[in-house]
Chains A and B, each alone.
Chain A
Amino acid sequence: MIEFLRTLVILLLFPTGLFLLFNAMIYQWIDRKLVARLQNRVGPKWYQPLADTIKLLANEEVFPEGTNHILFVWLPVVGLAGALTAALYVPILGLSPAYSFSGDLLVTVYLLSLLTLCLGLAGVNTRGQFSMLGATRTLTQLFAYEAPFLLALLGPAVVAGSLQINEIMAYSSQQWLIFTQPIGFVVLLVGLMGKLEIPPFDSPEAETEIVAGALTEYSGRGLALFRLGQWVELVVGLTLVAAFYLGGIHNPLDYVMKTVFSLLFIVTLQTTMTRLRIDQTVGLWWRYGTLLVLVQWLFIYLIEGVS
């Protein structure tokens, strides 16, 4: 009974569930506020993402003609569910993960990609010209950044000798991997930008070319759920970066400082670079991204071999 209640609280309230949704909105606000300040503007107030979500949930949902009704309604739900489930295995707010088992790193990465797949499918399902183009670009970008992103996450796993996020964090608390694997850190952060379609990798969602990409025909509840899923992914991604490379997360203050530091890095790249075309993104990733992460692995192998 206690176990059941505990599960319920974890899934619905804290640390995932409602708390995670609010956490995601706060991080989205920090991102937008930082970008605005760097561009010499004022930026939105703290409740802006919350207000956006509430407004979207209250909007009418328009169903385009010719789409599969079931897929249209349930793809956003599955995407958000994937993102929320991925958060069960990472140390949100410095508390130990709610559930932990050997190999949960790969499960988390897969669940994070679930949202991107749902996005691509949603774009193909709605069958407009802009949605199709956006969906194609989303899936192309998925194939581009997934390999370096995964390899950059596996770097700490290899040196820690385990695929469990808990144990990797315990290992990285002793030595900060940002100093021993700096290339991996950079690749992971830039890969996170690719996953979240943050500029300069926002070609799948290029506002001035294809309106809104895969989400062009979405409005109301579906759009709100997809956006929430993307914001939750931001939190999960930042937590992984902080846990692996920045010396683990031990208490809430630690969590906030380390994730905001990584976010600062992302925001700097976001404001100083222009959007890349999809073929340039893929070219960049498959050439430099993979090359850098393989160089990193070479170093890990050599150092492991020596020690």
Chain B
Amino acid sequence: MMSTINKSRRFTVPIGPQHPALKEPGHFEFVVDGEIVQSASVRLGYGHRGIEKAVESRSWIQNLYLLERICGICSHIHATAYCIGVEQLAGVTVPIRAQVIRTIVAELERIHSHLLWLGVAAHEAGFDTLFMYSWRDRETIMDILETLTGNRVNYSVNILGGVKYDLLPEHNEAIRMGLDFLEERTVHYVDVVTNDSLFLRRTQNIAVMSYEQALIAGVTGPTTRASGVKRDIRLDAPYLAYANYPIKLMIETHGDLEARFVVRLRELLESYQYIRTLLDVLPEGELKTRIPRRIKAGETISRVEAPRGELFYFIKSNGTDIPDRIHIRTPTLANIASVTHLVIGQHLADVPMVLIGIDPCFSCNDRMTVVDNEGSCDVWDGEKLRQYGIEYYQKRST
């Protein structure tokens, strides 16, 4: 009896693929009862571009620029992960000055990504003023990056074997001035986010993920650091300059939305300090080293800490100048499943906030979805997928 009464008040609210809450297309379905969410499901695939297939017909150098354009916000870190992997395969060591410059640009990118996230998260909460101000401050970083690299997005600083652009003393000056301004503003934003009573009502004790849940769900990045899990690739498996100059880990234990805000803002403050340290110790040296056109055969992995979490590249070479296979696992792919569990029991009004709490980037993580209505549950390998594609197009052309 109860279930029939409840059923009549339940309905499914679709969020996406077109919805003002999502900046990129993705499909979520929430079954709500009144205003409380009962269950959720997610479906991806709206931004799938076939990049993992496209890299198999381009040379190593051309792929660098293709992979850089997987995501606009974390473009440099994709290129860096790729470069690290290819340089490992080729057995080439990049000069130390190039590594430090790569790290500086990666941290600058982290700053711009977190400021962008702060604005979007405030917009989802309805706090448009914080959105406008944080994006105004983000322009400082964009100007710094434009002066240093020549472009605001898709910096193209990396080349296989080093970097293209040098960091001159005038850039040093400009970066320091920008960072001083931003540090003052970030301290103000930390104050606003942690003390504003109305904002706290939207973020405190909402979508709490405990330490055990974070471990089981396998989330990465600031989302997991907000639940107390000490996981950061820059410390666990250091790369580039992080090996010589370790960065501090920012942990919050509460695991709610407010903790996710605080972790990212504190990471911003740590990035400012870290860039200043790197600028002080910038070593002299070459900017690039020679790397052969044909990379030695072999397989390698490279893991880096993107602004959203752990970015994982698997690169396989067969000795030619065209890669054999590149597989990319972006952090959002690991984090997105946790959304379907975190929203259960929350108000519908909190759902966009929960979604933005994991910092989703749908363009990074798209996969092709095969919807199998018969309910079979087996794993498809490359051959089966290829066969499916052949049959699909044969059917279409007849």
What is A's interface to B at a CB cutoff of 8 Å? Answer: 38-41, 129-130, 132-133, 199-200, 202-203, 206-211, 271-280
Contact = CB atoms under 8 A, between A and B. Distances in A.
Nearest to B14: A129
Given A273-B198, A274-B126, A275-B127, 18 more contacts: A38-B129, A39-B129, A39-B132, A129-B13, A133-B35, A133-B348, A199-B126, A200-B198, A209-B348, A211-B19, A271-B129, A274-B122, A275-B126, A276-B198, A277-B201, A277-B349, A278-B349, A279-B347
Contact of A272 (B129, B202, B350, B351): B129
A77 B201 CA distance: 38
B21 interface: yes
A283 to B, nearest CB: 10
B21 A208 contact: yes
Contacts of B14: 129
A173 to B, nearest CB: 37
A280 B125 CA distance: 13
Given A129-B11, A130-B13, A277-B349, A209 B127 contact: no
Contacts of B62: none
Given A129-B14, A207-B20, A280-B201, A200 B348 contact: no
Interface in B7-35: 11-14, 19-21, 35
A274 B20 contact: no
B183 to A, nearest CB: 19
A274 B21 contact: no
B132 A40 contact: yes
A88 to B, nearest CB: 35
Nearest to A129: B13
A133 B198 CA distance: 23
A280 B126 CA distance: 14
The list of the 5 closest CB pairs from A to B, nearest first, reads: A275-B126, A274-B127, A39-B132, A208-B21, A277-B349
A163 to B, nearest CB: 36
Given A274-B127, A276-B201, A280-B201, A203 B132 contact: no
A211 B136 contact: no
A64 B123 CA distance: 29
10 contacts: A39-B133, A203-B349, A209-B21, A271-B129, A274-B130, A274-B196, A274-B199, A277-B202, A277-B349, A280-B201
Contacts of B19: 211
A175 to B, nearest CB: 34
Nearest to A276: B198
Interface string B312-344: 000000000000000000000000000000000
Contacts of A209: 21, 348-349, 351-352
A141 B32 CA distance: 20
B125 A275 contact: yes
B351 A40 contact: no
B128 interface: yes
Contacts of A200: 126, 198
Contacts of A207: 20
Given A199-B128, A275-B127, A208 B352 contact: yes
